[in-house]
Amino acid sequence: MHIESQQPPTRVILEQANPWSRWFARAGWIVAGIAVLSAVGSAGAFSRYFQRDSRVVEKWHSLSKLAADKVAVVSVTGAILGGDGFVRAQLDQVEEDDAVKAIVLRVDSPGGTVSGSDEIHHRLAKLVEKRDIPVVVSMGGIAASGGYYVAMANRGKDDVIFAEPATLTGSIGVIIPHFDISQALRKYDIRDDSIASGPLKEMLSVSKDRTPELAEKERKLIQELVDDMFRRFKEIVKAGRPKLDDDAVDRVATGQIFTARQALEAGLVDRIGFLEDAIDRAVELAGLSAEKARVVKYSKPKGLLDEVLGGASPTGRVDLAAIAELTTPRGWYLCSWLPALVRSE
């Protein structure tokens, strides 16, 4: 006999849907969509306030904190050993920021290598030409030799170079340092026995004993190098100070250091004033006003060690690259008889 299993009848329970729950679900999606659109719109509207380059930190310096248009203070501080460091990072930041309408070049440097000074001058001049923005120079404690060289990237404009009352500037000239210790080594029976492809390959060697004829030939060749770099320096000065004729440039291009007052009388600077005065001039040249200009300044990002130490860090550091410069026959636009072994951060 077949007995069919009986299952309990299926019971269907119908519940009336709450219309408010559907409305709240839809409202949630609507709010989320509005939030996304607002975020995207805000990012576009306020993109000019966002950091662009991780190598620099932009900070408000003065005037209006909320103004869209900027005046950027670009700092050239310490010995100039190359054009790819922090100065380059600042210039890259300015180039990518369309909100920057003027540059204040803050120079507090005794100069540096010929190539490093020339590269910074070139990049700054190219940037200013490309963006068609004014550049005003503010000299700090010292803006000499290569420091004055980079200040000439001002497109030859009038009334754009400011020196503080205590500024030292000038030192227009070139130096290739050389030290001869061959006689001292001879006393200790030490002889430089380097093997070179030719005698001139060892020019400016500090330890090589030379014949008088070879020493004279080397000196003549090095002097020609110095003279050629010096001619370029004077050409840069003429381009940056077009009111100075050839004779006027020759009178100041003696390697002499000038005080701010002497530099003003010689036509090397336009005014005696502080950073704030240079900023006011930059605002004026950009066609802005104090209410419509935000002055920003750049600094290096802090590392973990800086945070642990509360931001305290040494003001200078021994630079191995700078030590290597002592052994290199390199020209310097430097207000010193010895290349800097310690450079500012």
Residue 150, in any domain of the structure: yes
Containing structural domain, residue 337: 56-178+230-301+315-344
Q: Is residue 49 part of a domain?
A: no
Q: Is residue 223 part of a domain?
A: no
Of 335, 340, 171, residue with least CA distance to 255? 171
- Residue 301's pLDDT band, with cuts at 50, 70 and 90, is confident
**Dihedrals phi, psi of 60, to nearest 5 degrees:** -65, 135
What does the DSSP 8-state code read for residue 20?
H
DSSP character string of 189-245: T-------SSGGGGTT-SS----HHHHHHHHHHHHHHHHHHHHHHHHHHHHH-TTS-
Decide if pLDDT at 309 tops 50: no
Task: Tell me the residue type at 108.
Answer: D
Question: Is residue 255 scored above 90 in pLDDT?
Answer: yes
Q: Are strands 111-113 and 135-144 parallel, antiparallel or unpaired?
A: unpaired
State how many domains the chain has. Answer: 1
Burial of 33 (0-12, 13-18, 19+ CB in 10 A): exposed
Average pLDDT of the chain? Answer: 83
Tokens of 127: 């940037």
Containing 140, the helix (H) or strand (E) segment is strand 135-144
Judged by average pLDDT, the poorest of 5-9, 52-56, 219-223 is 5-9
Average pLDDT over every residue of 194-204: 89
Q: Are strands 161-163 and 257-259 parallel, antiparallel or unpaired?
A: unpaired
**Residue 11 in domain:** no
CA–CA dist 88, 240 (Å, integer): 21
In-domain check, residue 23? no
For residue 190, being part of any structural domain is answered with: no
200 within a domain of the structure (yes/no): no
N-term to C-term CA, the chain: 102
pLDDT tens digits along 228-243: 999 999 999 999 999 9
- Note the pLDDT of residue 311: 47
Q: What is the pLDDT of residue 83?
A: 62
Residue 117 has pLDDT above 60, yes or no: yes
Is the pLDDT confidence value at 164 over 80? yes
Q: How far apart are CA 98 and CA 111, in angstroms?
A: 30
Give catalytic residue positions. 145, 201
Nearest partner of 148 among 239, 268, 298, judged by Cα: 268
Q: What is the CATH number of the domain that holds 335?
A: 3.90.226.10
- Smallest CA-to-CA distance from 135 within 96, 167, 107, 170 is with 107
Residue 2 has pLDDT above 70, yes or no: no
The answer to whether residue 7 sits within a structural domain is: no
pLDDT in tens, 121-137: 999 999 999 999 999 99
Residue 230 near residue 236, CB atoms below 8 Å: no
pLDDT at 168: 96
Q: Is 46 exposed, middle or buried (0-12, 13-18, 19+ CB in 10 A)?
A: exposed
pTM more than 0.85: no
